[in-house]
């Protein structure tokens, strides 16, 4: 089927609509997702298509929203929770971490929690410190949770559909700056497999591993570097948990150099796990230079636009980091 060019947010809405048409047990709940269409406009016209019973506006209580979703999932429903900002998951950590993630294990596999939690992450919208965080490492650390970060419109649709199918709780973390970006998306309900990294670009000189909005920035940086004679492989992790290291290790063996890029602060961040797995594996012996991480600063996200931009990696920062890594003996 011919790919169409639609936005990242349209791809998410299409995935939800297709899942709801296919399965009456799928429903959505969250703040302002009904007539208003969602804080970022993602739910759009779904309220008018499926009604108030399946697109359920909720009170302002993340703990209550996620708790209701866990309960619904335990009795056979397939809830899709929308949290307005990923920062607000802090209000619902007990339900996410101590309930959704644990119940299948604690009940000996007798029950599952087929719940999807969608949450906008990241900076770039001037939303300041309490609405701009990248908290993916929190959730990737928790056994029982699957965590995905789609970087393209196609994966925004495909990973969400796969998450809805999954019998386990899945967090789908969507970068706010990606909502208005566009790309080719299949009209059919094609799933993107959870737990598979994607090689977005191949090059002989080094590998850049990135997540979320940093994937597109890394691809732009790689294009600019190509004009300087430096060819980079770019790998989109896509799924943080479970993590697929095989393409990353293969790229390291092929190039000998690796740059790990994330928006979140460096300290105890997700890319620290990627770095550790490389250090523990045999691909370590293929490295011709130390593993390098390029991350956000270890400070809250500022409100001022110039400071907000300065504290997370931008395309020039990626280019500079690559050039520095290439010069490593």
- 277 backbone dihedrals φ, ψ, rounded to 5°: -65, -35
- 167 backbone dihedrals φ, ψ, rounded to 5°: -75, -5
Which residues are registered as beta bridge partners of 27? 79
329 by Cβ neighbours in 10 Å (0-12 / 13-18 / 19+) ranks as exposed
Which residues are registered as beta bridge partners of 209? 235, 260
- Among residues 10, 14, 31, 62, the one annotated as catalytic is 62
CA 23/CA 131 separation, integer angstroms: 33
**Is residue 62 flagged as an active site residue?**
yes
**Is residue 198 flagged as an active site residue?**
no
- Among residues 131, 175, 198, 249, the one annotated as catalytic is 131
Whether omega before 325 lies within 30 degrees of 0, making that bond cis, reads no
Short-list 193, 110, 90, CA closest to 146: 193
Quick one: tokens of 328? 């490593």
Which H or E run contains 23?
Answer: none
165 by Cβ neighbours in 10 Å (0-12 / 13-18 / 19+) ranks as middle
Query: Which residue numbers are catalytic?
Result: 62, 131
């Amino acid at each position: 089927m011919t790919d169409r060019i639609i936005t990242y947010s349209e791809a998410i809405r299409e995935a939800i609509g297709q899942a709801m048409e296919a399965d009456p047990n799928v429903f959505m709940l969250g703040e302002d997702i009904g007539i208003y269409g969602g804080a970022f406009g993602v739910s759009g016209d779904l309220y008018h298509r499926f009604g108030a019973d399946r697109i359920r506006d909720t009170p302002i209580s993340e703990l209550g929203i996620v708790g209701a979703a866990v309960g619904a999932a335990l009795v056979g429903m397939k809830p899709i929770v929308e949290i307005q900002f990923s920062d607000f998951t802090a209000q619902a950590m007990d339900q996410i971490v101590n309930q959704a993630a644990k119940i299948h294990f604690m009940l000996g596999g007798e029950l599952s929690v087929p719940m999807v939690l969608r949450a906008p992450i990241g900076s770039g919208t001037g939303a300041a410190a309490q609405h701009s965080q990248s908290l993916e490492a929190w959730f990737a650390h928790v056994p029982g949770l699957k965590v995905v970060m789609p970087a393209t419109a196609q994966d925004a649709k495909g990973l969400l559909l796969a998450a809805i199918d999954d019998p386990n709780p899945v967090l789908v973390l969507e970068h706010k700056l990606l909502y208005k970006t566009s790309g080719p998306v299949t009209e059919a309900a094609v799933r993107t497999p959870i737990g598979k990294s994607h090689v977005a670009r191949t090059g002989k000189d080094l590998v850049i591993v990135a997540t979320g909005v940093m994937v597109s920035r890394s691809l732009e940086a790689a294009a600019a570097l190509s004009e300087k004679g430096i060819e980079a492989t770019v790998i989109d992790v896509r799924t943080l948990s479970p993590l697929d290291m095989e393409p990353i290790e293969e790229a390291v063996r092929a190039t000998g150099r690796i740059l790990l890029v994330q928006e979140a602060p460096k300290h105890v961040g997700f890319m620290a796990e990627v770095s550790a797995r490389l250090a523990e594996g045999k691909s370590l012996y293929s490295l011709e230079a130390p593993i390098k991480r390029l991350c956000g600063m270890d400070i809250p996200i500022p409100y001022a636009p110039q400071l907000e931009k300065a504290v997370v990696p931008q395309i020039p920062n990626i280019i500079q980091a690559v050039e520095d890594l290439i010069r490593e003996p």
